[in-house]
């Protein structure tokens, strides 16, 4: 709120960044990277980079929005780096479609739970708590593309370019991630309510 | 005919690219007959919408308490950001 009422042209105050924005940026980074140490690293990198490029701050938007923009770029760099070292083979482990469908491609008996409540019946806070738990169980590459695509709403070309994968590769990863998430969230929810 | 496995794949892909017209027709024909795929679609769409629309507000509100920079890194970052001593 107060960001809006401040004069439009103002100088940056790097000395106050940690207290003003540190925890906010950290939480944002944790939600995207699912790793506290990695989050601290990207926040620190962002501050250093912001300080170095302070001249580029136009002074029109809020300081926080500007820092968040830098952080987002750093998060993508981090994700790219950590996926460079993991190989694609790991992701086959996470292919639930082999488990959920029979040889004719029909849902297997155990995948059919009559009277399954749909996920949209979940309360918002519950939904996010379970989603977070389930994201942790995904192979890291699947979770990473899911976060970039769904939480950050990046377009597919950008993600392919950033992670240096083909479009069809990305579709497969997203499919596996979504299938696994949907199953995990459902069974987590059933466990809790039964 | 598409089977359920094909349909689950196409449903996911439809969130990332525009499917060819006849593929969409076959997809909807299957969905019209298959309760299980219909249920899967409902879950998939809910996850899709919810994550897009509310990711940022959730970071701000719900997880406020959990996420804090450690004291140690806080100090380290402050040193990095301090104006050079003259
Ligand atoms: Zn079906």
Q: Where are the domains of chain A?
A: 14-85, 89-193
Q: Count up the domains in chain B and report the number.
A: 1
Ligand 1 centroid–CA B30 distance in Å is 6
The values of phi and psi at residue B17, to 5°, are -155, 160
In tens, the pLDDT along B30-50 reads: 999 999 999 999 999 999 999
The pLDDT of residue A8 is 42
Which residues of chain A are modeled with pLDDT < 50?
Answer: 1-9
Closest CB to A43 among B44, B64, B69: B69
Ligand 1 centroid–CA B41 distance in Å is 10
Query: Does the beta-carbon distance from A28 to B59 stay under 8 Å?
Result: yes
Given a cut of 60, whether residue B63 has pLDDT beyond it is no
The pLDDT of residue A94 is 63
- CATH number corresponding to A89-193: 1.10.10.10
The pLDDT of residue A85 is 67
The pLDDT of residue A1 is 44
Residue B86 belongs to some domain of the structure: no
Q: What is the CA radius of gyration of chain A?
A: 20
**Matching CATH topology for A14-85 and A89-193?**
no
Say if CB A15 and CB B47 are below 8 A apart. no
Residue B14 belongs to some domain of the structure: yes
Query: Does the beta-carbon distance from A105 to B6 stay under 8 Å?
Result: yes
Contacts made by residues B20-27, CB under 8 angstroms, sequence distance 24+: B26/B1, B26/B2, B27/B2
- Tell me the chain A residues in contact with residue B80 when contact means C-beta distances shorter than 8 Å: 44, 47-48, 51
Ligand 1 centroid–CA B34 distance in Å is 5
Query: Does the beta-carbon distance from A124 to B6 stay under 8 Å?
Result: no
In total, chain B counts a number of residues equal to 86
Q: Which of B54, B77, B16, B33 is nearest to A106 (CA)?
A: B33
**Any A CB within 8 A of B13 CB:** yes
Q: What is the mean pLDDT of residues B20-28?
A: 97
Residue B23 belongs to some domain of the structure: yes
Residue B64 belongs to some domain of the structure: yes
The values of phi and psi at residue A101, to 5°, are -115, 150
The pLDDT of residue B59 is 61
Pull the structure tokens for residue A53. 């490029």
Residue B50 belongs to some domain of the structure: yes
Pull the structure tokens for residue B27. 């997809």
CA angle A120, B50, A142 (to 5 degrees): 105
Domain span at residue B33? 4-81
| CATH match of A14-85 with 3.90.1010.10 | no
């Amino acid at each position: 709120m107060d960001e809006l009422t401040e004069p439009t042209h103002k100088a940056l105050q790097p000395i106050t960044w940690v207290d003003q924005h540190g925890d906010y940026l950290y939480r944002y980074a944790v939600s995207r990277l699912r790793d506290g140490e990695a989050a601290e690293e990207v926040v620190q990198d962002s501050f250093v980079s912001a300080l170095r490029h302070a001249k580029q701050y136009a002074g029109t938007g809020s300081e926080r929005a500007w820092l968040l923009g830098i952080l987002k770029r750093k998060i993508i760099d981090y994700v790219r780096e950590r996926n460079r070292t993991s190989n694609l083979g790991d992701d086959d482990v996470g292919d639930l479609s082999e488990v959920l469908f029979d040889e004719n491609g029909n849902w297997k008996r155990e995948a059919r739970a009559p009277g399954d409540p749909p996920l949209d019946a979940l309360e918002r806070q519950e939904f996010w708590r379970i989603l977070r738990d389930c994201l942790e169980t995904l192979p890291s590459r699947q979770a990473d593309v899911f976060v970039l695509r769904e939480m950050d709403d990046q377009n597919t070309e950008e993600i392919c370019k950033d992670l240096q994968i083909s479009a069809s590769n990305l579709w497969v990863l997203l499919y596996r991630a979504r299938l696994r998430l949907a199953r995990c969230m459902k069974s987590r929810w059933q466990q809790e309510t039964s | 005919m598409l089977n359920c496995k094909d349909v689950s794949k196409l449903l996911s892909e439809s969130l990332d690219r525009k499917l060819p017209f006849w593929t969409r027709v076959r997809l909807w024909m299957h969905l019209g007959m298959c309760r299980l795929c219909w249920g899967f679609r409902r879950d998939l769409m809910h996850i899709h919408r919810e994550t897009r629309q509310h990711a940022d507000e959730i970071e701000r509100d719900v997880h406020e308490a959990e996420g804090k920079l450690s004291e140690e890194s806080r100090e380290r970052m402050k040193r990095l950001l301090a104006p050079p001593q003259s």
